[in-house]
Chains A and B, each alone.
Chain A
Amino acid sequence: MKTKEVTIINPTGLHARPASDFVKKAASFRSAVRVKNLTSAQEVNAKSIVLLLTLALSQGTKIAITAEGEDEAEAVESLAALIEGGFGEC
């Protein structure tokens, strides 16, 4: 199991297009991937856009990305990089 903590930096947060980009990326890995909102301590399946939206991840929120499975290291790294890249908004 691999985990990494990152902060959401793009102005619109993890809604709409950025959320959709994130879920698509998560779904491309075989590992089970979860996202935790470190403020509310809620954790959900990162491959579900619907659940991800319920986490209300806005700019400045800290999250933990956890993956478990054969490609867990790659999954965590590339999803964290996506968040840190700001989704082309900044």
Chain B
Amino acid sequence: MSAERLTGLSVSRGIACAEIFRFDRQEPTAPENTVCEAAAEEELARARRAEAAARGELERRIAALDADKTENAALFRAHLEILDDPYMREQVDAGILAGKSCETSIWDAYAEILAVLENTDDPVFRERAADMKDVRGRLLRCAAGRPEADLSALDRPVILVARELAPSDTACLPREYVMGIATEAGGATSHTAILARSCGIAAVLGVEGLMESAVDGRFAIVDAMAGEVILEPSETERAEYERKRDEWRSQHESDQRYLSRRAVTRDGVEILTEVNLGSVADARSQAAKAADGAGLVRTEFLYMQSRSLPDEQTQYEAYAGILKEFGSRPVILRTLDIGGDKSLSYMELPREDNPFLGLRALRLCFSNEELLRTQLRAAYRASVHGDLWIMFPMVSSIQEFRKAKQLCRQVQQELETEKTAFRSDVKLGIMIEIPSIALAADLAAEETDFASIGTNDLCQYTCAADRTNPAVEPYYRADNPGFLRLIRHVADCYLAAGKPLGVCGEMASDPTMAPILVGLGIRCLSVNAASLGQMRRVLSERSVSDMRAEAEALLRE
């Protein structure tokens, strides 16, 4: 029998070879049984017992998550509210009194609401429908007296295979036994992806057809370098991947040793190497502890992981948490960057023909100023805990920066009036990701305290190639000489003004492109946490003069 190869999205690098552990959460189906009226009392009692058991499970989850200080207890609180909804209980009881079994009554009561929720395109409704199904599944399982499937019982090395992992599943994951993770659902910013990265578990998500093909207990390989899952490989393939895995491990271990050093080139120039953060947990990783700073805090995580707009206090706690972890090292907080390819399930954004050229990021915040004001208040309040820099995304002209700065002044005045402590020396800067501001970088360098080049967007706007459209991928090139010249121009302007400039796009984490950036005059790179060790090694092995020559050559190609 030959191996089957499935592809997906690599979200946490590494290679894992082990047997499959299928984690199936059974989707319940409509029960068939009905009961005669004489047994109604007993059925009502069963319904109450199922509710009590389900409530107990949810309460234990909430208590465990609260103790762990993770943000996901909100999910289980929402489930608890559905479970205790007076209307749902009424409907279940009415069904039983009309002669249905406990199971059928539960099924029908939820089906009625699901029919309404599933009959729309609204993502909020779909999310709530998923919650309703989750609670119904829990109730039916409790009614049958079956315990909750639990990963904590794992006792051997496995590759965890699932349709999707819920936060409740990963909360009790035995990390020493999970070598790799493969799921059908999930993307780079999913809960599973973040967990896999922070634990260094090889993970490939979004694998179509996985559950159909993966057999429990059979051998498999998760190649999270190539984004592949290989089911039942041949002896030769298995040996080949085990060799690759060992090679990767030893390379990775030697890169990790660079974490304790700074990035100094052969000719003695120090390059600041910072990390990009996508959560408070990211700030506690080994790489974050070793980094020269946090060059980009993607504050969207607070908005995307939540089920409603995060309030000021929630944001304050998250920012303060990150600042405390970094101590005296700078932390660059990017204000909310949604729109384009990022959306929020609970907030309707206008539909646009060209979302990347539309009302996104700072523009969206200007059209809904309270969004930004709440975020700035939280940030300024948190500023007393460390060295905070605030950065505005999607700036196309200096006027937009002035407007944002004005809003910062208002927030500072408010806090002063309220006698709330904040630091008045918070640096204010911009992302340079739109060609118009890159071309006017001399003006930007004069007024801003700092800037960071967002290469992902700057490249797509400069080359006019949508980075999410595979058909134009050949035109989206980080080595396009026009694009590289633009970066050099920005670097020259900020150097002349004596203001800090970094690069925080994917290009900074790419071991072949980062040296080019240094060659163009960049002295600060903010990279993905997983790349920090490798980046410090790559830069330490070269000299600035070599990197400059390499960049010069590309500018003329």
Contact = CB atoms under 8 A, between A and B. Distances in A.
Interface residues of B, number: 30
B88 A12 contact: no
Interface stretch (B99-107, B117-125, B181-189, B495-503): B117-125
Contact of A54 (B113, B311, B371): B113
B311 A88 contact: yes
B137 to A, nearest CB: 16
B116 A89 contact: no
Which of B113, B128, B309, B347 has most A Cβ within 10 Å?
B309
Contact of B87 (A15, A16, A17, A48): A48
Interface in A20-59: 20, 23, 27, 45, 47-51, 53-54, 56, 58
Given A20-B78, A48-B87, A11 B309 contact: yes
B82 interface: yes
Given A20-B78, A47-B86, A50-B113, A15 B311 contact: no
Interface in B112-144: 113, 116-117, 120, 122, 124-125, 128, 132
Contacts of B132: 50
Contacts of A58: 348
B240 interface: no
Contact of B308 (A15, A45, A47, A48): A15
Q: Chain B: interface secondary structure?
A: helix
Interface string B386-400: 000000000000000
Contacts of A13: 346
A20 B82 CA distance: 10
Contacts of B122: 56
A89 B368 CA distance: 11
Contact of A12 (B113, B120, B346): B346
B81 interface: yes
Contacts of B124: 15-16
Contacts of B74: 17
A12 B347 contact: yes
A50 B87 contact: yes
Nearest to A17: B308
For this complex, into which size category does the number of interface residues on chain A fall?
Answer: 20 to 34
Contacts of A23: 81
A49 B346 contact: no
B82 A11 contact: no
A45 B85 CA distance: 11
Nearest to B371: A11
A14 B78 CA distance: 14
Interface in B4-58: none
A27 to B, nearest CB: 8
B68 interface: no
B405 interface: no
Contacts of B425: none
B307 A49 contact: no
B418 interface: no
Nearest to B312: A88
Contacts of A56: 120, 122, 125
A48 B85 contact: yes
B370 interface: yes
A8 to B, nearest CB: 13
Contacts of A27: 86
Nearest to A21: B308
A27 B132 CA distance: 20
Given A18-B308, A48-B88, A53-B128, 13 more contacts: A11-B309, A12-B308, A12-B346, A12-B347, A15-B128, A16-B307, A17-B74, A27-B86, A48-B85, A50-B113, A58-B348, A89-B309, A89-B374
17 contacts: A11-B368, A11-B371, A12-B309, A15-B128, A45-B86, A45-B87, A47-B87, A48-B86, A50-B88, A53-B117, A53-B125, A53-B128, A54-B117, A56-B120, A58-B348, A89-B309, A90-B370
6 nearest CB pairs, A to B: A48-B87, A16-B308, A17-B308, A16-B307, A12-B346, A90-B370
